[in-house]
Structure 1
Amino acid sequence: MRRILTIIIFIIVFVVGIAFSAINNDPVALNYYLGTLSLPLSIVIVISILLGLILGASAIFMSSLQLRYENRRLHKKLDTSEQEINSLRILPLTDEH
Structure 2
Amino acid sequence: MRKAIIIVFVLIVAALGLSFATLNADDVVVDFFFGQADLPLSFVLVVTLIVGAILGVLASQVVVFRKRREIRKLKRQVNDAQKELNELRRLPLKEGR
The TM-score normalised by the length of structure 1 is 0.89
CA 1:4/1:60 → structure 2, altered by over 3 Å: closer, same or farther? farther
Sequence identity, in percent?
Answer: 34
1-side partners of 2:68 and 2:53: how far apart?
A: 22
Distance in structure 2 (CA, Å) of the matches to 1:36 and 1:54 = 24
TM-score for both structures, normalised by structure 2: 0.89
The alignment of Structure 1 onto Structure 2 pairs a total of residues equal to 97
What's the offset of the Cα at 1:5? 1.3
Tell me which moved more, 63-72 or 74-83. Answer: 63-72
| Equivalent residue, structure 2, for 1:45 | 45
Deviates more, 1:10-19 or 1:56-65: 56-65
Partners of 1:80 and 1:62 lie apart in 2 by 27
> What is the alpha-carbon root mean square deviation over aligned residues?
1.5
Match of 1:83 in 2: 83
Instruction: Describe the SS at the equivalent of 1:8.
Output: helix
Distance in 2 (alpha carbons) for counterparts of 1:60 and 1:5: 30
Cα 1:60/1:3, change in 2 over 3 Å: farther
* Structure 1: gaps (5+ residues): none
